[in-house]
Structure 1
Amino acid sequence: MPKSISLLFTLALFSTSGEGLAQSLEAPVEALFNAMRAHDGEQLAAQFTNGALLQRAEPGGNIKSNDLSQFAGFVSQSDKHLDEKLLAVTVQQSDNLAAIWTPYVFYLDGKLSHCGVNSFQLVRTGPDWKIHYLIDNVHGGDCEQFINQFSTDG
């Protein structure tokens, strides 16, 4: 009986710590989008490492780089409601390196603006995870079909 209790405790502990890791891993991504909704550029920038890269994969194969401080400034100064919803989040992690791949839908003042995919590379910096690299794209087709393809609802 004691071995059974010990095994159950160990399994419960492992399960809990795994959930905690996933939550802490996703925390900077969630905080990024919460900061966008709150127009808090300072909090947005705090989710990234020093020297973080932001890029967009454009049609035709071009890669456009964006400056984090300019992006944070835009978010702070925007008078529009910015809301990005994530679909079908996939997380991979090994030691202090992680990747989050997720389709997204972006709403501007409550109206569907565009959709695409985000790819985040995160590193653990002490006890916390930070975003070091974010590249996204914008889906060139119908966003409603895109949402249906990647939605985890229903």
Structure 2
Amino acid sequence: MKNLMFLAFIFICVNSHAQSNNPKQLVIDFFEAFHEQDTVKLKTFATESLQLKSVSMNAEGKTTISTSAYSEFVKSIASIPKNVKFEEKIHEYRIEENGLLSTVTTPYTFFYNGEKSHCGINVFNLVKMEGDWKIIFLMDSRTKQHCN
């Protein structure tokens, strides 16, 4: 029994390490955890100081930027009722990587209970820390116009 538990532990460690060694895979895993409302897993993808920024246009046509702590984002994901269906459909992954820094850009369309809500672009800035990629900055744009 101890051997079986040890092997399971090793598999989990190797699997989680492999996922964080690739910027694209980290973002894919982020969205899987997001859709599953897995707040424990979501916390593992980011640095403690991560803040999120959202860019949108207000009713007067002015660009607004809002900022929130990653911890607040994680709490908001946990508070979504289980009967609500949401999906952030990613259209593609654009990746720039250079040593310790990577940027992953993902155009998306967001659906809420099957209805198109908005669209935009996510920009993930990642840093390689002790061999693992972590999100250090996350910004998105949100619009209801020109959505695919």
Per the TM superposition, whether the score is higher than 0.5 is yes
Residue segments in structure 1 that go unaligned for 5+ positions in a row: 1-19, 148-154
Alignment partner, residue 31 of structure 2: 33
Q: Which structure: larger Rg? A: 1
1:83 aligns to 2:87 (yes or no): yes
In the alignment, structure 2 segments of 5+ residues that lack a partner are 1-17
Q: Post-superposition shift, 1:101? A: 1.3
TM superposition shift of 1:134: 0.6
| Matching residue of 1:69 | 71
Letter in 1 for 2:78: S
In the TM superposition, 1:85-104 aligns within 5 A as 85-104=89-108
Normalised by the size of structure 1, how large is the TM-score?
0.73
The answer to whether the 8 Å contact 2:109/2:118 transfers is: yes
Higher helix share goes to which structure? Answer: 1
Residue in structure 2 matched with residue 138 of structure 1 by the alignment = 142
TM-score (norm 2): 0.76
For 2:48, the equivalent position in structure 1 comes to: 50
1:58 Cα deviation after fit = 2.3
Partner of 2:113: 109
The CA distance in 2 between the partners of 1:92 and 1:109, in whole Å, is: 33
Contact 1:91–1:101 at 8 Å: present in 2 too? yes
Number of matched pairs? 125
Asked whether the equivalents of residues 56 and 143 of structure 2 are also in contact (C-alpha less than 8 Å), the reply is no
Q: CA deviation at 1:24?
A: 1.2
Aligned-pair identity in percent equals 27
